[in-house]
Each structure stands twice: as C-alpha cells, then as structure tokens.
Amino acid sequence: MDKKTENTSPVRPFKLEEDERDMTLRPRNLSEFLGQKGMKENLSVFISTAKERGESLDHLFLIGPPGLGKTTLAQVVANELETGFVQTSAPALDKPKDLVGLLTNLKKGDVFFIDEIHRLKPAIEELLYIAMEDYGIDWVVGQGPMARTLRIAIKPFTLVGATTKAGVVSSPLISRFGITCRFSFYEQEDMESIVRRSAGLLEIKMEKDAVSLLAKSSRGTPRVVNRLLRRMRDFAQYSGEETITNKVVRNGLSRLEIDEMGLEKQDREILKIIIERYKGGPVGAETLAISIGESVETLEDYYEPYLIQAGLLQRTPRGRMVTNLSYGHLGIVPNLTADEEILLLNLFN
C-alpha cells in the first residue's frame, strides 16, 4: 500500500455504510417521531379510531416550511395505519391521466401522498375533488356530440397533501381535507433529542455540550440537524477523533460558515443587504431576491420563515424589514436620528 494513503491512525474510523444507515434516520411510527407534541397526540386519536371503525383516515393536509418532517409524517401515518404508501409530487402530475393511473392502482386504505400540492394544475385538481369526496373519477370518453362521461370507481384512500404555501392552495381543495396539521420549528429540547437519536442510529459518540450546540445551530429543523451531524462526523473522523466534541462542532460550524443561531452565510447576507442598501427596509421580495441572486420562491420558502421565527426579519405590507435584533446579531450599529444620538449619549454620560 502507498505510504501516502495508508491509514496509520490508531483511532477506529466511523463506519461508512452511510446509505443504508441514513435510511433508518426517518422515524417509522409516531413514538419515534420527536417533537410536534400536540399534533402527534391528535393524530394518534384520529388514526386509532379510524382503524377501530375499519375506515380510511380522513384526508390530511400538512403545512410548514421545508425540512420539518411532512414527508416523514405521511410515511409514519401509513405505517401506523398498516397500509400501503404511494408518493408523488404536484409537478410530476403533468396530465390528468397521470393522476388517474395512480388513483386506480391504489388499494383500500392506502395513503396517497402529494408533495407541493399548491402546484397542482387546475384540471388535475378538479379530478381530485370527486376522488376525495366520492372515491370516483369522472373521465370523458369520445369527442364532440358523441362524448360522454364515465364514473370510474376507486377504492377508499387517504390523501395526504403537503405544502409550504398554504395561502395559494385553492379553497375548494382545502375544504376537502378533514384534518389539518401545521408544523412549527422545533424547540431546543426536541432538537437535542433528534440529535441523540440520529447519533445513536449512526453509531456516533457525542459530548453533551456538542449535542446542545449542534441542536442550537440547526434552525429548529430536523433535516438540517441530520445533515450537519453527518458533516460533524466527517470533521471528527478527519481529525482522528472518536467522539464529536464541542470543539469539533465549533470548528465544523465555522468552516461551514454557520453561526450559533443557525444562520448560514446567505441568511446573514440577506440581513446585511437590507441594512446596508435599503437602510433596514422596507424592501420588496423581488428586489431582495435579485439582490442575493436567489429566486423569490427560495427566499420565501427557505430563508424567510426561520429569519422571521428567530425575530430577525419582519414582513410588512410595504416589504421586508430587519429588526433591532438583526443589528445586534451582526454587530452593526443602526443609523440613529439626532434625538436618538442625544439620548444614547446621555445614557453613557
């Protein structure tokens, strides 16, 4: 073996069967699904009573920012109901026949998951109305005077629709969901539990302080904390460490340009642009998106929800504005009026 590539370190490297083990990070049932306590308790009631009656669970509408577990919860619901799980996304349903093909192949009680349901085309959405209410599909056969409508029966199923933009989902579609679950960013305690669970499944040793710091720096989002955990494992292994320590996490976050509030470089750039170019705001979403080189959709779906939740950004009728907390976090002194400067001077004199 080439001496340059030989591993002479006495430290046992972390195991590398990542693909197989990462699949186990997704909870399989409600007891493993950490956080969102009130929502889980209600779902447990609805699932157990539906099973007792031998009925399909009412259609389920999941709302929340990316990475909080909407897809995972849909799979958990299917596991709890002990039924099949069929997954697609609204952009993948290009023509009505795409939806018809999926619906007609569903078995009784199956969970049918549509991600990004706010992006459904009108013609496909209209097909869903009857399917959700009457478990049937109206299909037009023939053309012109010879055209006729056939009702195709489908087996009772549970539609789970997920969206990051509930406000753009049509009222007729929303009204057909019997259960609505709104996700919120996870609390620090829940994030720490997720880190410990994932570390255990990946057979990673972590110091208590490292768990706390990593949880705090992960935007209250399970997808983010699991991604960062794998990166901290890489940094620890590269440094010859068997355990992920607080120092490893601090160094790793620094190299990834993530601060202790979980803000990434682009998050801080958004706040700086509003402060430095637009005097703290307000600034329109389109203008801000162009300034940071991102799409409006990415700005609104990924960056803004956490910045607002963290109290760093405000949405107003006139546009986006930073808060006083943003100035403090970035270490920027806000521009003061003459009266404010006099008041500040008096405080320190």
CATH of the domain at 124: 3.40.50.300
Residues 178, 277 share a domain: no
Q: For strand 148-153 and strand 158-163, is the pairing parallel, antiparallel, or unpaired?
A: unpaired
Domain residue limits at 61: 36-182
* Boundary-marking domain end, from 157, 182, 207: 182
Q: Is 115 a catalytic residue?
A: yes
Q: Is 205 a catalytic residue?
A: no
Q: For strand 85-89 and strand 111-115, is the pairing parallel, antiparallel, or unpaired?
A: parallel
CA distances from 126 to 50, 62, 120, 139, 244 (A): 26, 20, 10, 11, 52
- 117-165 confidence digits (pLDDT tens): 999 999 999 999 999 999 998 877 767 677 777 888 999 999 999 999 9
Pull the structure tokens for residue 291: 């300034």
Give the residues across from 89 on adjacent strands: 115
The single residue of 83, 158, 163, 164 carrying the catalytic annotation is 164
The residues, ordered by sequence, that sit 6+ positions from 291 with a Cβ below 8 Å of its Cβ are 273, 277
| CA atoms within 13 Å, Cβ hemisphere of 229 | 30
**What span, in angstroms and rounded, lies between the C-alpha atoms of 328 and 343?**
18
What is the reported pTM?
0.84
- 221-239 confidence digits (pLDDT tens): 999 999 999 999 999 999 9
Q: Is 71 a catalytic residue?
A: yes
Q: Confirm if 81 and 51 have CB atoms less than 8 A apart.
A: yes
Q: Is 70 a catalytic residue?
A: yes
The single residue of 110, 115, 163, 233 carrying the catalytic annotation is 115
| CA atoms within 13 Å, Cβ hemisphere of 267 | 27
Q: Of 35, 20, 102, which Cα lies nearest the Cα of 67?
A: 35
Is the pLDDT score of 245 beyond 90?
yes
Largest CA distance in the chain: 90
Give the residues across from 136 on adjacent strands: 153
Q: How many domains does the chain have?
A: 2
Residues 170, 55 share a domain: yes
The single residue of 40, 223, 231, 247 carrying the catalytic annotation is 223
Is the pLDDT score of 206 beyond 50?
yes
Q: At what angle do helices 246-255 and 222-238 cross, to 10 degrees?
A: 110
Q: Is 164 a catalytic residue?
A: yes
* Boundary-marking domain end, from 133, 152, 182: 182
**What span, in angstroms and rounded, lies between the C-alpha atoms of 264 and 218?**
10
- Asked if residue 140 is part of any domain, the answer here is yes
